[in-house]
Amino acid sequence: MNTFRQSQIRDFIEKNYVVTIKQLQELIPNVSLMTIHRDLDALEELGVIVKVRGGARAVRHSGDLGFDVRIRENISGKVQMAEKAIGLIRQGSSIFLDASTTNLILARALPDIPMNVITTGPNIAIELCKHANVNITLCCGTVNRTNMSLFGQNTLDMLSQMNIDMAFVGVSGCSAESGFTCGTEGDMVIKHAAIAKARTSIAMCDRTKFSRLMPYTFAKFSDVDYLITDGDVPEGIRQAALAENVVIL
């Protein structure tokens, strides 16, 4: 599976909303029609596009994909990432989970052991209420209904008072040149602040996000300690991470 090619197709569809098979053949003329259809099948299975007669359309026209769409993307990969993340967490630690869907999957998988969890995700806080031994701090702020997160100055002020052992931060795009990127300025500021406060920072990036570029860079490879993913890492990104001593899991 060529994740870079699929990311290229996905970005083209999201930019143009509705595209034809002929347009996709012109976009990537070096692959067969059958390969294009297989790529579309894979993207549809991830929930990011919908195949239509003679082509495909985007799930959303512009901006960030909605939370309800993103939570259906690459679920098995996110479960794999959650299992790797749990291996880093120790009893009694204070961890930050941003409002990414990957972290919602992680919250569902967390063991019920004594720990402090700070989050900007209302859904994550509700999920963790099922745990008897987890102390939950939900940051205050303004609700972004699209991605179900809290943001704003109140959120930043609250984070500035927190002591964080480990910050687990979701990634919308990752490239060797731009580092880790996201779709909104509000998310960028919160992710950056959490990484700055944490003793250890972990970027949670599933394979569909590699080589995808979003508008806002919230961290460079030098800002994080771990990169957790669910598949092969493109060589350029691998080299950029290893150059900054980032541990890839």
* Residue 36: pLDDT over 60: yes
CATH number of 69-248: 3.40.50.1360
Q: For the full predicted model, state whether its pTM sits above 0.85.
A: no
DSSP code, position 210: B
Q: Who has greater pLDDT, 246 or 183?
A: 246
Beta-carbon count within 10 A of 140 CB: 12
Backbone angles phi, psi at 165, to 5 degrees: -75, -50
Predicted local distance difference test score (pLDDT) of residue 71: 66
Considering only 40-44, 55-59, 103-107, which range has the smallest mean pLDDT? 55-59
Whether residue 230 is predicted with pLDDT greater than 70 in this model: the reply is yes
**pLDDT mean over 220-234:** 95
| CATH 3.40.50.1360 domain span(s) along the chain | 69-248
pLDDT category at 187 given cuts 50, 70, 90 is very high
Locate CATH 1.10.10.10 in the chain: 3-62
131-141 mean pLDDT: 96
**Mean pLDDT across 153-168:** 96
pLDDT score for 46: 79
Q: Compute the average pLDDT of residues 82-97.
A: 97
- Name the average pLDDT for the chain: 90
Please provide the CATH number assigned to the domain covering 3-62: 1.10.10.10
In angstroms, the CA 208 to CA 77 distance is 9
Which pLDDT belongs to residue 62?
Answer: 45
The span from the CA of 120 to the CA of 165, in Å, is: 16
